[in-house]
Structures are given as structure tokens and as C-alpha cells.
Amino acid sequence: PEEEHPSPEGDDEPEPPRPSGGKPTLKVVK
């Protein structure tokens, strides 16, 4: 579920939701 750059090969695996604010931030902290 990476809307930033959906890689079909799974380059960046969907990392677990980090406790940043409590919301499942996808690649926002990186």
C-alpha cells in the first residue's frame, strides 16, 4: 500500500506502522 511509488517487485516492503502519532504512516518518517 505505497501510494508514493507503487513498486510491483516490492522494492520497499510495507514496513509495520510506526508509533508516529499513532497513525500507520507509510514512508512519512523516512
> 0.75 exceeded by the pTM?
no
Tally the domains of the chain: 1
Domain span at residue 23 reads 1-30
Q: How many CA atoms lie within 13 A of 24 on its CB side?
A: 6
Amino acid occupying residue 8: P
d(CA 10, CA 23) in angstroms, rounded, equals 22
Sequence-ordered list of residues with C-beta below 8 angstroms from that of 29, at least 6 positions apart, any chain: 18, 20
Say what the pLDDT of residue 29 is.
56
Amino acid occupying residue 3: E
> Tens of pLDDT along 1-30?
556 665 555 555 666 666 666 566 565 555
Contact assessment for residue 2 and residue 24, using Cβ atoms and an 8 Å cutoff? no
